[in-house]
Structure 1
Amino acid sequence: MASYTERLIAAVVASALLALIPQRVLSQDTPWEPAIQRLIHLTFNENFVTAHAIADSLLSAHPRRPEPPFYKATVYWRQGMNVRDGDKHDPEILRYLGSSIEKTERWIKLQGESAEMFLWLGNAYGLRTGLRMVRKEVFKGVIDGIEGREYLDETIAIEPDAMDANFGIGLSDYILSHNPSILRAVQRLFNLPSGDREGGLRRLKEAATRGRYNRLDAVSALAYLELYYEMDAVSAEERLRGLLAHYPNSLDYRIRYADTMLRLQMEHGRRLSKAMLDSTASIRSIAFSRKWAL
């Protein structure tokens, strides 16, 4: 039988070898992965009741992991989109994002730094940035945005193939390149970078193609940017049509698609009156069935 010293040496060697394994290998095939992927798809299809149930189950089954509270927050986030009283979910979003950040920091303290944990920190701070900006809390939003960007950059530094980090980085680079008025007041105070439009779009497309958790977020962001910023209604229509084929229950995508139809008719002379009427009718029907005030 091996002595205590021999067993200790073996354990140390095993730990050292484990640390050399790339993070992407460690993060594959986790027991919570199928449930999270299902939750993501349910959320994009706006099946919020089932998505909340899965998130609650994950919170109970994996209380130490940062993913369950993060995705609980994302369900509330998407649930509050496009409705007049969407801000009623803000306290829950902030609470669960705070929990995700706390759990990630605790995990890093116990297990050490990793691309995986930096990604979840970047995701949580990124979503909180989005909420702050929507609510016009610019100062807090910028602070969270800077923090989140640093964690996403660390993710890429550790694991260059971590495509999910490209979603937040790409979106940040693109938005800053447009110098939005909401950020001009704090541009000098925080010495914000000028951004990178082409680089941002490239990163978003990489995340949309090869992302694991943030792929659909990147696809959605590209459709939104193509429609409202790039003024490319043709590309936006194709992308939104694909999203609606997979997520027909999404009121958000139907609203964007109706905007796209209007843009195509105005700018390209397409005869899309019937398509616009059908799209508008479907929006009203879904909103009525949910008793939502848009």
Structure 2
Amino acid sequence: MVCCYGAQGSEDPVLHSYVLRGIDFTLRHEYGHADSVFRIVEREFPDHPAGSLYRAAVIQSKILDLKLEMNDHQFDSLRMVGQERAERWIQLEPRSAWGHFYLGTALGYESYARVYREEWFGGITKAMSSVDEFRRAIELDSSLHDACVGIGTYYYWKGRKTEFLNWLPFVGDDRKNGIALIQRTAERGIYNRFTAMSVLATIYIDAGEYESAERLADLGLQSYPRNRVFLWEHAAALEKQGRHREAVNTYERLLDVIQKDGEEHRYNELVCRLNMARAFAAMADSSLAQVEISAVLSLQEVTFPPHLRKRAADKFREARALERSLATGTSPDK
């Protein structure tokens, strides 16, 4: 979730308090409470983009957390309302750094939604427009550290996806600069700090810097010990380091959080248990690995939503391959 806060709120302690409270609820996965807070913002600050954009952010966070389909019309409607309000703000105050920041945030949400739906061209186009607005915001106010994560994320993944073209003179690699910008938000941001920490942990895993990813995920868990995003990142970082017992401990924490949550998490449970089975197999504990494989295969009775069926089927095939490998002492063939 990209968190935002505007000029109208920078001098208004009431809006400031609401924004912080809503962000806190979102990081605790208390989405209903977060939405209620931002509904109050919409009511008390009807011309400000914060309320509608934050409500859209809550929906996006829930979709990503629960692996839902990105077809929520309310998300699109709220994002568009927030964008229109940010655009009107800029028309009235062209040099408003926060107006440009909110516009960049709205465009960033649209970009992410398009990419999630595999509308790649539209997603990239909106991402570029979002970055332009974030750059403009920082040009107008260099202390707006919360804008840096949007720019840095784009820089890193653009460089990552085009690394095979970096030998060309007109194609640059801004990944290091991107990481530095995200670090700036993680260290100095107020509203986007935890977002930046999570984004950076994912990037460090992608870059093979697993200890750095572990450190950031652990830092996030110190403030939000039941945050599922940080738990996934923490377990993955440990697993990549070959610290399988510790990874299992984190997966067990995650499974406990999943099972005690009131929402549907069967696909997340499937992935979590399969990862635990792999970790036990890596520790040569075939009995505990088989326990988790059996738990995974029992989920074949679950009717997964259409957008998750192929992914679930792939995981079941991986589980059966791991089971065969344990029985024969060979490497699993996925």
Q: Return the TM-score normalized by structure 2.
A: 0.70
**Counterpart AA for 2:246:** L
Quickly say closer, same or farther: Cα 1:73–1:195, change in 2 above 3 A: farther
Q: Residues 163, 170 of structure 1: CA spacing in aligned structure 2 closer, same or farther, 3 A cutoff?
A: same
Please show how residues 238-277 of structure 1 align to structure 2 within 5 Å: 238-265=215-242, 269=243, 271-272=245-246, 274-276=248-250
Shift of 1:84: 3.8
Match of 2:185 in 1: 207
In the alignment, structure 1 residue 46 sits paired with structure 2 residue 29: yes
Residue 292 of structure 1: which of 252, 255, 265 is its match? Answer: 265
Which residue of 1 is the match for residue 292 of structure 2? none
Tell me if the contact between 1:118 and 1:151 (Cα under 8 Å) persists in the aligned partners. yes
Equivalent of residue 161 in structure 1, options 131, 143, 168:
143
Judging changes above 3 Å, is the alpha-carbon distance between structure 1 residues 274 and 107 closer, same or farther for their aligned structure 2 residues?
closer
RMSD of the alignment, in Å?
Answer: 2.6
Does the residue aligned with 2:207 lie in a helix, a strand or coil? coil
Give 1:237 shift.
1.3
Instruction: State how far apart, in whole Å, the 1-side matches of 2:207 and 2:216 are.
Output: 14
Q: 1:67 aligns with which of 37, 47, 50?
A: 50
CA distance in 2, matches of 1:273, 1:225: 19
Which structure 2 segments of 5+ residues have no match? 1-5, 268-334
Within the candidate set 70, 81, 85, 1:87 is matched to 70
In structure 2, the residue matched to 1:225 is 203
| Percent of residue pairs bearing the same amino acid type | 21
Q: d(CA) in 1 for partners of 2:7 and 2:53?
A: 22
Amino acid at match of 2:212: S
Q: SS where residue 26 of structure 2 aligns?
A: helix
| Contact 1:73-1:97 within 8 A present in 2 as well | yes
Q: Give structure 1 stretches of 5+ with no counterpart.
A: 1-23, 185-191
Distance 1:121 1:282 in 2: 38
Measure, in 1, the Cα distance between the counterparts of 2:124 and 2:140.
24
- Matched length: 258
More deviation, 230-239/80-89: 80-89
SS of 1:249 mapped into structure 2? coil
Letter in 2 for 1:282: D
One-letter code aligned to 2:56 = A
Point out 4+ residue stretches in structure 1 off by more than 3 angstroms: 24-27, 192-195
- Report deviation, 1:63: 0.8
Contact 1:155 1:162 survives alignment (8 Å): yes
Which residue is equivalent to 1:15? none
Mapped pair 1:176 → 2:158: yes
